[in-house]
Amino acid sequence: MSGSNVWSRSRERLRRFPELLAQCADEAAVYGKCVAATTTGKQELKKDVCAKEFEALKTCFTNAAKKKTR
């Protein structure tokens, strides 16, 4: 398909993912450590075990996305 459609638009949005994530490296590291800790520690990996860290990451990510839109 040619022209602008929902797939090409969403693909464009997705292309910005790495640069946006790069701006939230700290929050991502904190979240990653939290999840990694569940693989070694006694705590089992259940839903929303690291919800707080993920919320921080997501807010940072959406803010970065808002900032960069023209």
Partner 1 sequence: MSCRGIQKLLQGAGSGPAAWSRTPAASCCCRLRSGPCRALSGPGSGAGPGSGSGSMNVFNREMKRRQKNWAAVLQDGHQYDYLREEVGSRVADRVYDIARSFPLALDMGGGKSYIAEHLSKEVVQRLVLTDVSQQALKLGRRSEIPTRSVVADEEFLPFRENSFHLVVSSFSLHWINDLPRVLSEIHRVLKPDGVFIGAMAGGDTLYELRCSLQLAQSEREGGFSPHVSPYTAVTDLGNLLGRARFNMLTVDVDDVQVHYPGIMELMTDLQGMGESNCAWNRRSMLHRDTMLAAAAVYKEMYGNPDGSVPATFQILYMIGWKPHESQAKPARRGSATVSFRDLAKVSRPDSADQS
Nearer to partner 1, 46 or 70 (CB): 46
Quick one: which of 34, 30, 59 has its CA closest to 45? 34
Binding test (CB under 8 A) with partner 1, winner from 4, 41, 42, 47: 47
Q: How far apart are CA 66 and CA 33, in angstroms?
A: 26
What is the dihedral sign for C-alpha 57, 59, 62, 68? negative
* Distance of closest approach, residue 40 Cβ to partner 1, in angstroms: 11
Residues of the shown chain interacting with partner 1 in the complex, contacts defined by CB under 8 A: 1, 7, 10-11, 14, 17-18, 21, 27-29, 31-33, 35-36, 38-39, 45-50, 54, 57-58, 61
